[in-house]
Amino acid sequence: MKFILTWKIPPGRYEAAAEAFLASGAPVPEGLALLGRWHVPGSAQGWALVEGDDGAAVAEHVAEWATSLELQVHPVIEDEATAGALSKVFGS
C-alpha cells in the first residue's frame, strides 16, 4: 500500500529538523520503500510517498520524526483501484 506523509516544521524547530535531515538523510525503516520526497523551497513543509505492506513501519518512521515535525499520514490508492471501488458502488 502507498502512503503520502505530509510534514510541517513548527516554528522554532527548523534548524534542528534541518540538522537531523542532513545528518541522516531521513531513511525509511525496513519494510518501506521511499518512492519520492518533495520539499517546498523557502518553506517548512513537504511530502513523501512511501510504499509497504507494514503499517507498523509507517508508524515507526512517523515516530522517528515526531519531535521535529508535525506529520500526517494519508493512505492512497491509484485510479484503477478507485475505479473498481466506484464501480462496485455505482455500477459501471
What's the whole-model pTM score? 0.87
pLDDT in tens, 19-45: 999 999 999 999 999 999 999 988 899
Report H helices in 1-92: 14-24, 55-65, 79-90
β-strand partners of 7: 46, 71
Look up residue 50 and give its three cell numbers: 512511501
What is the rounded distance in angstroms from the CA atom of residue 54 to the CA atom of residue 51? 9
Write the pLDDT tens digit of every residue in 63-79. 999 999 999 999 999 99
How many angstroms separate the CA atoms of 2 and 28, rounded?
A: 13
